[in-house]
Amino acid sequence: MDTLLTPSILLLLFSTFVWSGFLEYDQDVLIPDDWTRAGRVDPSEELELTFALKQQNVDVLEEKLRLVSDPDSAQYGKYLSLEEVSSLVRPSEVTHKAVRHWLHSHGITNCRSVCTRDFLQCTMTAEVAEMLLPGSRFQRYVRDGRTIVRSSAPYSVHDDIHQHLDFVGGLHRLPPKGQDQVRKDPGGGGGVHMGVTPAVLRQRYNLTKADVGTSQSNSQAVAQFLEQYYHPADLVEFMIMYGGSFQHRSQVDRVVGTQGGGRAGIEASLDIEYIMSTGANISTWVFTNPGRHESQEPFLQWMVLLSNMSDLPWVHTISYGDDEDSLSTAYMMRINTEFMKAGVRGISLLFASGDSGASCRHLGKENTFRPSFPASSPYVTTVGGTSFKNPFKVTYEVTDYISGGGFSNVFKMPDYQVGAVESYLKSVAATLPPRSYFNSSGRAYPDMAALSDNYWVVSNRVPVPWVSGTSASTPVVGGILSLINDRRLLKGLPALGFLNPRLYKLKGQALFDVTEGCHLGCLDEQVQGKGFCAVPSWDPVTGWGTPNYPALLAALQAE
């Protein structure tokens, strides 16, 4: 008996200990091979850390989001201001006092807060940070000439503070590597290469010359967290080359963040050039690498910024994601709450679904699919990718095999999609991958899709062909939603806000259903490289399909 009990008691003690000291006990702290360690950070060096304070009324916020996003609710479109969000979720006085006291007792006084008072950003030396957060060890890492500071070991916090914080940002989570966006010439160099341009997209999605923004109060944004920048001159050149057939803008109205020098990146040029081609003549902002410290997490910085800006564009598209299994649950839960905070304000957040299909995780001999976050959040709209059936013609669309999709292991399936996902699971039951590969009770994504293959992009003044990925389809959908917002705003209606509850009620009406092709999965005997396959109606490869603008406008411009 004793010998049987001892290990389990130890385990129990150990897990109690883990729960009380470490906020992010399940955070992956391994540094990927492509980063090189460049030594310990000098104790006197300054770091900036972000403290995510425990919020109040998160359940009320969630219910509020459900009501303002459900077209059948009397509260539909009755969005909250940032001030109102703040009075709902801001941390209690007890939490504030406890955290401030803890920081002060370590001599940390240089902190900035946000309007919602649920984040604190503080600067301190590495020496103080390591005392404040026992376990942490700050190192410098280098990749492609960029350096960052992260902790090589997990951090803990004092027991008195544990209940007042969700996590501390700036210790883990390295910026994911940008995708290699240029695919090889699929035609072997021979045939006429057409490729996707604004004219092709506008033709496919039925946008006429008159379908451009006209509302003064409309705006849209792309957020990017890459080590690369868009160049204003590339956008001008792109519009000269490809913008001839529709009224457009050739300038970004506002850049928030640090727009560094250096060469332009293809990915950085891509989102801006294409959101401004479907969301034509609409004021456009770019959020780029917010944060200046080597210790900051750019994506988190952007989230913090949203809680401190009362006037924001209505639509944001973001091509950013990480494996769910590499992130702590506490972090994902909190970021998900941040998405709710944006949603109740009427802001639409669109995330690329990823470029590795269902993706694959190798666990010993077992393989499973590998969901990606934030694509797997129930409170964002996730966009997958398609190709033309005939790559040289504007034909119907089929699955782009890279299109990210699958089922979350962290977030349970939200009510708005239960019907759609269950009928998918039922209709393809005989041909589904084995259940051990995915979690059929999780949030399923993507929600919709658009072309993601064979784009022309102007980068460093040169047109580049064969640019691909869901980072192309996401701004295309974003621009189209912005156009619909434009018409709604002109009619005095509220913006679309968090779209999914309304999108799923359309049951695919007003979208081009994608019914052919499968995306990538695990390269093993069981699934042989495949993930899921597109079928009629919703599927976890292309969602409900791609936008037919006039039909979607008609469906979404009613109150």
Ligand X SMILES: *[C@@H]1O[C@H](CO)[C@@H](O)[C@H](O)[C@H]1NC(C)=O
**Catalytically active residues, by annotation:** 267, 271, 471
> With respect to ligand X, which residue has the nearer C-beta, 447 or 486?
486
Residue 357 CB neighbours (<10 A)? 29
Give yes or no for residue 216 binding ligand X (CB under 6 A): yes
> With respect to ligand X, which residue has the nearer C-beta, 68 or 421?
421
For 216, the token pair is 């003064």
Instruction: Report, in Å, the least distance between residue 189 CB and ligand X.
Output: 29
Q: What are phi and psi of 279, to 5 degrees?
A: -85, 60
Contact with ligand X (CB under 6 A): which of 95, 116, 125, 281?
281
> With respect to ligand X, which residue has the nearer C-beta, 247 or 431?
247
Give yes or no for residue 409 binding ligand X (CB under 6 A): yes
> With respect to ligand X, which residue has the nearer C-beta, 328 or 439?
439
**Among 189-197, 338-346, 532-540, 546-554, the segment contacting ligand X (CB under 6 A):** 546-554
Contact (CB, 8 A) for 235 and 269 = yes
SS3 556: helix
Q: Which residues is 50 bridged to in the sheet?
A: 121, 169
In single-letter form, the type of residue at position 91 comes to P
> With respect to ligand X, which residue has the nearer C-beta, 40 or 209?
209
Between residue 421 and residue 460, which ones bind ligand X under the rule CB under 6 A?
439, 441-442
Instruction: Report, in Å, the least distance between residue 144 CB and ligand X.
Output: 28
How far apart, in whole angstroms, are the C-alpha atoms of residue 437 and residue 409? 11
Instruction: Report, in Å, the least distance between residue 190 CB and ligand X.
Output: 27
Listed residue (22, 77, 133, 1) closest to 501, CA to CA: 77
Contact with ligand X (CB under 6 A): which of 247, 251, 423, 526?
247
Give yes or no for residue 346 binding ligand X (CB under 6 A): no
Between residue 115 and residue 174, which ones bind ligand X under the rule CB under 6 A?
121
Give yes or no for residue 548 binding ligand X (CB under 6 A): yes
Between residue 16 and residue 55, which ones bind ligand X under the rule CB under 6 A?
none
Instruction: Report, in Å, the least distance between residue 531 CB and ligand X.
Output: 17
Contact with ligand X (CB under 6 A): which of 40, 78, 101, 112?
112
How far apart, in whole angstroms, are the C-alpha atoms of residue 32 and residue 322? 13
String of contacts with ligand X for each residue 191-210, x by CB under 6 A? ---------------x----
Tell me the helix, strand and coil percentages in the chain, rounded to 5: 30, 25, 45
> With respect to ligand X, which residue has the nearer C-beta, 212 or 421?
212
SS3 502: helix
Instruction: Report, in Å, the least distance between residue 143 CB and ligand X.
Output: 26
Per residue, what are the HEC states of 306-375? HCCCCCCCCEEEECCCEEHHHCCHHHHHHHHHHHHHHHCCCCEEEEECCCCCCCEEEECCEEEECCEECC
Place of tokens 């009397």: 74
Count of residues in the chain: 559
Between residue 290 and residue 309, which ones bind ligand X under the rule CB under 6 A?
304, 308
Question: Which helix (DSSP H) or strand (DSSP E) does residue 445 occupy?
Answer: strand 442-445
Give yes or no for residue 551 binding ligand X (CB under 6 A): yes
Which residues would be at the binding site for ligand X (CB under 6 A)? 112, 114, 121, 206, 212-214, 216, 247, 281, 304, 308, 409, 412, 439, 441-442, 548, 550-551
